[in-house]
Chain A
Amino acid sequence: MILITLLLIMMGGGVLAWIAGAFDKSLPKWISLFALLTGLSMMVSFWIGSAGTVNLTAGGAWMVTAKYDWIPQLGMSFHLGLDGISLIMTLLTLFLGAISVIVSWKEERNTGFYFFNLLWLLAGITGVFLALDMMVFYFFWEIMLIPMYFVIAIWGYEDRKYAGWKFFLFTQISGLMMLLAIIALYLIHGSKTGTYTFDYLELIKNVPGGQAAFWLMSGFLLAFFVKLPALPFHSWLPDAYTQAPPAGSVIIAALMSKTAAYGLIRFIIPLFPEAARAFAVPALLIGGLSILYGAKLSYAQKSLKRLIAYSSFSHMGFILVGVFSFTALGLQGVMLQMVAHGLSIAALFIISEFVRERTGSFDLSEMGGFWKKMSNMGGFTIVFIMASVGLPGLANFVAEFLTLAGAWQFNIPMSIIATLGLIVSVNYSLRILQKVFHQKEYTANQSRLYDLTAREWIVMGSLTIAIVGLGFFPQKVVHTAQPAFDKILMASPDNNSSDQTMNRVTQLNTMHLAELNKKEVSHD
């Protein structure tokens, strides 16, 4: 019930905001903030209440599920489920959703429709994290697109139309390829077992093999690689990320890209275990190259927002590396990376927006010496730059370290390539700090520079607390998600032959992880 309520709060809040927008310009933002905070407090209290009660059951590591009839003729049911991974991602979505509402507090153009789009976008993302029926998943996957298109195309910057189109077309065609794969999966499963169903829990009991599995996986992978984005499919990214309004950039980079990462964990590994393993080396290579190529592009940018956009692209490479290492360590790294990267990239995009509000552009060459006037903002920027670089004590370090450790167990050369990414990330990240806050004097208009306002303090402060807290206590997240990962890794049928060894490896990994967490805490 809590899952349905959560979705209803967001969708209903969106409709309410739209209606309220006709009467009062500032009402929608209050409604949206209230809806998101209600959802957040609901999920937090659920998280606290469920601590320690998570068990592995036969069906999986589900804490709560909900299933309703939808279109029985076609074997579709409205099936939602929440396990540790989804719980963490839902919390992140609600938290960053609330942040993005506060970021767009000064939005004045057609606020009702704006906040409607924002809330439906977040509802779509949440739905993706909760869906346990392939068609429900696909529906939510697509629900994200249209509001995002509107957000970019109406409230974006100069080139918003072009960016909106590009975004929509890339994601739409890859989504349709995934739809083909979903339908094929449904028919193959149906003809094999006699029950035609889109239910995820049914489908993973009887996964296709051989050639078919490879092609089906390709359909899914295409959708996820585009959304992530991974190397050859990233060309929509700089436009969409840069042209979107601040809240749009936050959501698209911090949350929407995570739906793809989530999809890799939730669908690719359990549904196509053999095909995924066969594809591991190319996938790791794509991941490693994405890290390096993204870092290179990021370093070359003249626009602050584009620089951050490419850095996001670079960091998403770690997700591929972690997922396709098929180790508990790697997957835990991905889990932490999803949260940590979400927080840090959101903060960086927000900082770029704060700078633009003051100077009127994203052009790095026009900036410099902001530290004098805006030392508070500079301080926060240092925190998130350090997070992005991967400095110990902040969440991103734990995430990237676990990912690389996991990849090392699986494929050493690939993990070395990925590790190089850590070095290059220092280059572009420090460049932000140097170009914006130090170096030459800002001469254009000193009086336009002012330090953080109260609203901006709230935004940056809460993000900082989250990322530092996560850096100090990563085991909270790890612990919540662990049962789900165990289940996913155990479900892989190729473990049947060596079930025990695999279980032992998983156990070892878990122990290793627990030890690591302890060290981490004592060290800090």
Chain B
Amino acid sequence: MISLAEFKTILPEVILSAGAILVLLSIAVKRSFMTSYLLTLITFAAALYFLTGVDGKGEMVSNLFVVDAQGKFISGLILCSSLVITLFTYSYFRNVKEETREEYFVLLILSTLGAVFMTISDHFISFVISLEVLSVSLFALIGYLRHKGAAIEAGIKYLILAAAATSFILFGFALVYMTTGKMNLHELSGFIGAGTPTLAIAGLAMVIVGFGFKMALVPFHFWTPDIYAAAPTPGAAFIATVSKGAAFVFLLRLFYSIGGLNHEGIWVAFAVIATASMFIGNWLGLRQQNLKRLFAYSSISHLGYLMVAFLAFTQRGVEASSFYLLIYFISMLAAFGMIIYLSGKGNELEMVEDYRGLFWRKPIAATVFTVIMLSLAGVPLTAGFMGKFMVLSAGMGAKGLFLLFVLVVSSTIGLFYYLRVIAVMLSGREAAQASQPETGRHSIVFTAVMAALFILLLWAGIYPNAFLGMLG
């Protein structure tokens, strides 16, 4: 049994579980898109509210969870993102009438629950269970648009790969358990040293493979573009942000606590993965014509940058990676939000070409989009630059210097495709006036969310004190 104090600590997660059931029940009583939407919003808001009451000083909940500063911060970030994605979902599904739309919210709450549990997991078992809660909801989330063949294909693709990844992780955990007899992270603390058995290292290598799939790091990235393109856009935003972020936090907790990066082989393996992700992610995006696929490659490279902070293996690295996740979440959400915002009924603007001449048709929307692109590219005055700055300064050191150069060079390569999107928006003034594709009409709430994300991007880029303060 857990005590009342412990119960209070995981109250946000409890509320999420209750919220999922509540939405299900409401659907059983009467199917209403609006009701499920509002209930979902309330659930996330309530969870966020109770999260602020949690201390986050490393309280243990039974043996399975630990709520430390980083866990709390990322949980809050995930809840906020899910809240934003809920708003996206509403706008997105207003245009999609063919499906039963209400269950989407249940899946969203459940996958968020898995993600939040993952960020505070301190035990192999709790991690694997939360991973499965997340993954199983995601299969359905990705394949939600049943009438689209590609969506089903993407769902199955994700199902198979995620199952493979989970089994890799499980096998790895089993090997570690076999050699140490422990599954608790704080008990395993610092067990990597001179005399670590090879079997445990082999286990960790398998864990790395599993996480590579989850976070779409090169060479485990092949699923990403397909799934981003086929999933409903809010779902893609969820995969790009929440699911990757949660996996990263546990990876960081695991390897920092066991001191895994002290092992030369593991460090090199991660460095190779990070280098490959940065280069390949930026490289493959170059000729990409589909905007959602472009974001997929962009996210691969961003996770590569994040690994640079991870590889610093210092407290600075932890702070930098939390900050980078925050920035990355805002940028990615804004990017996907923009696609939803500009897409009209039945015609999703997913090709880069669809945005030709946007600057002359909708100057404000195009300006916002430009800032988002510049933020993803990491240009100063936008949030992306501050994130990159934190990563660079965390990674500065004799060992990681090579990675910093890779980061700089590869991000310049990536700049090409972000600039290409901007250039397309700027060009074709004559064509823009001739044909005006129908673009979506949206509620004031959605417009306000996009405006808020835009302001956050600039705020964090120019005066990030408040955000840095949140890291503690």
Contacts and interface: CB of A to CB of B under 8 A. Distances in A.
Contact of B409 (A113, A173, A183): A173
Contact of A165 (B379, B419, B429): B419
A173 B380 contact: no
B408 A173 contact: yes
A71 B380 contact: no
Interface stretch (A53-61, A174-182, A483-491): A174-182
B465 to A, nearest CB: 6
A348 to B, nearest CB: 29
B396 A143 contact: no
Given A146-B374, A165-B419, A176 B408 contact: yes
Nearest to A161: B423
A172 B415 contact: yes
A211 interface: no
A233 B379 CA distance: 22
B393 interface: yes
A71 B412 contact: no
B353 to A, nearest CB: 15
A176 B412 contact: yes
A180 B404 contact: yes
Interface in A54-102: 70-74
B408 A180 contact: yes
Interface residues of B, number: 29
A208 to B, nearest CB: 14
A184 B394 CA distance: 11
A139 B463 CA distance: 12
Contact of B464 (A71, A110, A154, A183): A71
A169 B415 contact: yes
A169 B416 contact: yes
Contact of A143 (B380, B392, B412, B465): B380
B267 interface: no
A168 B419 contact: yes
A187 B393 contact: yes
B392 A71 contact: no
B393 A73 contact: no
B415 A168 contact: yes
Contact of B396 (A71, A109, A183): A183
Contacts of A441: none
B266 to A, nearest CB: 25
Nearest to A180: B404
Contacts of A72: 465
Contact of B381 (A143, A153, A172, A180): A143
A73 B415 contact: no
B379 A179 contact: no
B468 A177 contact: no
B381 A183 contact: no
Nearest to A139: B380
B163 interface: no
Contacts of B468: 71, 73-74
A183 B393 contact: yes
Most chain A beta-carbon contacts within 10 A, residue among B380, B381, B385: B380
A173 B409 CA distance: 7
A202 interface: no
Contacts of A71: 463-465, 468
A177 B392 CA distance: 11
A161 B427 CA distance: 9
Contact of A179 (B363, B381, B392, B469): B392
Interface in A128-162: 138-139, 142-143, 145-146, 149-150, 153-154, 161
A183 B407 CA distance: 14
A139 B386 CA distance: 11
Given A183-B392, A183-B393, A183-B396, A146 B379 contact: yes
Contacts of B429: 109
Nearest to B412: A173
Contacts of B379: 142, 145-146, 172
Contacts of B343: none
A58 to B, nearest CB: 30
A428 interface: no
Given A73-B468, A161-B423, A168-B419, A176 B411 contact: yes
B202 interface: no
A55 to B, nearest CB: 35
A186 interface: yes
A186 B393 contact: yes
A373 B379 CA distance: 49
A145 B380 CA distance: 10
Contact of B380 (A138, A168, A177): A138
B376 to A, nearest CB: 14
Nearest to B408: A176
B24 interface: no
Interface in A192-249: none
B426 interface: yes
Contacts of A109: 429
Nearest to A70: B463
30 contacts: A71-B465, A72-B465, A74-B393, A139-B380, A142-B380, A142-B385, A143-B381, A145-B379, A146-B374, A149-B419, A153-B423, A153-B426, A154-B426, A165-B419, A169-B412, A172-B379, A172-B415, A173-B409, A176-B408, A176-B412, A177-B408, A179-B392, A179-B408, A180-B392, A180-B396, A180-B404, A180-B405, A183-B393, A187-B393, A187-B396
Q: What are the nearest 6 A-B pairs in CB distance?
A: A142-B380, A173-B412, A176-B408, A183-B393, A73-B468, A139-B380
Given A71-B465, A143-B381, 14 more contacts: A71-B468, A139-B381, A142-B385, A146-B379, A149-B419, A154-B426, A164-B423, A165-B416, A172-B379, A173-B408, A180-B404, A183-B389, A183-B396, A184-B396
